[in-house]
Structure 1
Amino acid sequence: MQTNHDHSDVTVRRDGHIAIVELARPPYNYFDETLIGHLVAVFEQLDDDASCRAIVLASQGKAFCAGADFSGGPTDPQMPRRLYRHAVRLFATRKPIVAAVHGPAIGGGAGLALVADFRVTCEAARFAVNFNRLGIHPGFGLSVTLPRLVGPQQAAMLLFTGKRIDGRKAVEIGLADVLAPDGEVLAHAVALAHDIAASAPLALMSTRATLRQGLADAVLAAVDHEASEQEWQVRTADFAEGVAATAARREAVFTGK
């Protein structure tokens, strides 16, 4: 197994026919345009590598991905649109992806986990699509990908409440696929990726393309709408309050302004 550091915040190592791609911004792996752009570049490079048949998406530190970092205050209103255009390219890549969600996958971090075909997780993990609790519309294509996995009613419940669920509940509702013991998520994700990589590579990519037909186009349409909603909502008092309340770990007091 050789390690190849393509970018400082995304590392790649090989294990036979699989590539293990890790986010390297511990402990929380907050993302921005740069990180998502680097991840796109790595995935597209692996698409062109015939020796790679499956990808494991993992991360260093305590969280899988805690989403975008809003701790600095109000964000650039145009940032979501730029970032989500990168994200669409992740959905358009061709190799099967297994996400190893060993810790929190929050907001856009949950959206990133849903880029993958499968999610391996554990009871200690936490999933939350907490955009409404921050005062903004969900993003990262979640308005398409979440209902596709768990159904419209369960998706609405998660989006409207922003509630956190653990890995066991995520598997129960179809948000994740495999429940591994705490501390063994990556090993189980690698094992699943090897099982996938044992299939004929051309047939595998063809079947995946059939099953995901139209997904990237649907995500593209969704993120355009999501970004349009977020662009005006990040200017609201409710968004400023949501970010401040989250940082202070207190209940937000929204005013609808």
Structure 2
Amino acid sequence: MPDTVILTRRDGHVAIIELNRPPHNFFDVDMIARIADELDRLQDDKTCRAVLLQAGGSAFCAGADFSRRDGAAAPRSASRINPIYLEALRIFGFGKPIVAAIEGPAVGGGLGLALAADFRVSCTEARFSANFNRLGFHPGFALSYTLPALIGKQMAAWMLYTGTRVDGARAREMGLVDFIVPRDEVRAAALALARELATSSPRALQSTRQTLKADSLSHIRNAIARESAEQAVQFAGPDIAEGVRAMAERRPPVFAD
């Protein structure tokens, strides 16, 4: 994989990480690992106080590419963690605040990546979907914990069970995103927020963040373990083939009883 799968640069105390696999920014184990590697490096960089996560292309991140046989990177047994989610755990464990600039769709695991951020800045044109059940398998990327923790169990159940697409305005009403601005201002607004965070005492900021998150990482680990076990079983079943085929053919899936 080329080194340009993610782009990085600095804006003072803000580190900027950009997904660079346009137009959809499909991820795989290597991409998530590269993000985690960069965050590990920034954790030890005292001059970095906040991170901005953004994406080139029309989508923030469309999750895994199910048109590829290895796109989902499922574990081979129910006792093993999905390798993508092992790398995601490193992102969730990052100790500094992350702001996500979301200008386009955040779908499936891409929504999971967006929810790894502390704040989300978006626009009305963005779309958010946890489409796992519609594809025929259990949600992943810790969304079974992070989504209800953010928007409540009832709204999370609706999104997870149906795979419905939520636009930016509705996402703001639900608390899925924090700020809505015009699309061409998303990056600037997200950077302004990250800069604002970076003006606080880095020691006080990180310790306050740790207090607010408390035991969330242990809940995320538990969620990922269960998600991986369920996906290992369901990826071997018939539903995922129909779900992926239906998505490719742009029709409702027809699952057997």
Contact 2:39 2:94 in 1 (8 A): yes
Contact 1:73 1:240 in 2 (8 A): no
- Letter of the 2:141 partner, please give it: F
Please state whether the residue corresponding to 2:82 is helix, strand or coil.
helix
**Matched residue, 1:181:** 182
For residues 35 and 48 of structure 1, what CA distance do their matches in structure 2 show? 21
For residues 59 and 217 of structure 2, what CA distance do their matches in structure 1 show? 26
Task: Describe the superposition over 1:74-121 as per-residue Cα deviations: whole angstroms up to 9, x where unpaired.
Answer: 755317611111101111111100000110000000000000000000
**Matched residue, 2:24:** 28
**Matched residue, 2:100:** 99
For residues 159 and 141 of structure 2, what CA distance do their matches in structure 1 show? 15
**Matched residue, 1:53:** 49
Contact 1:77 1:232 in 2 (8 A): no
- Aligned residue runs from structure 1 range 1-257, under 5 A: 7-73=3-69, 75=72, 77-78=74-75, 81-256=82-257
* TM-fit CA distance, 1:72: 2.2
* TM-fit CA distance, 1:144: 0.5
- Letter of the 1:77 partner, please give it: A
For residues 214 and 7 of structure 1, what CA distance do their matches in structure 2 show? 34
The change in CA–CA distance for 1:247 and 1:73 in structure 2 (over 3 A counts) is farther
Task: Describe the superposition over 1:145-172 as per-residue Cα deviations: whole angstroms up to 9, x where unpaired.
Answer: 0010000001001101110011111111
Contact 1:7 1:38 in 2 (8 A): no
- Letter of the 1:62 partner, please give it: S
For residues 142 and 98 of structure 1, what CA distance do their matches in structure 2 show? 18
- Letter of the 1:87 partner, please give it: A
- Letter of the 1:218 partner, please give it: H
Structure-2-length-normalised TM-score: 0.95
Contact 1:91 1:215 in 2 (8 A): no
- Letter of the 1:37 partner, please give it: A
Contact 1:77 1:235 in 2 (8 A): no
* TM-fit CA distance, 1:73: 4.3
For residues 205 and 62 of structure 1, what CA distance do their matches in structure 2 show? 32
Contact 1:10 1:24 in 2 (8 A): yes
Please state whether the residue corresponding to 2:116 is helix, strand or coil.
coil
For residues 149 and 166 of structure 2, what CA distance do their matches in structure 1 show? 18
- Root mean square deviation, CA, Å: 1.4
**Matched residue, 1:3:** none
For residues 186 and 247 of structure 1, what CA distance do their matches in structure 2 show? 31
- Letter of the 2:114 partner, please give it: A
Contact 2:4 2:20 in 1 (8 A): yes
Contact 1:53 1:201 in 2 (8 A): yes
Task: Describe the superposition over 1:21-67 as per-residue Cα deviations: whole angstroms up to 9, x where unpaired.
Answer: 00111110001100000000001111111111100000110000000
Structure-1-length-normalised TM-score: 0.95
Contact 2:106 2:127 in 1 (8 A): yes
For residues 203 and 131 of structure 2, what CA distance do their matches in structure 1 show? 38
* TM-fit CA distance, 1:208: 0.5
* TM-fit CA distance, 1:212: 0.9
Shifted more, 81-90 versus 111-120: the winner is: 81-90
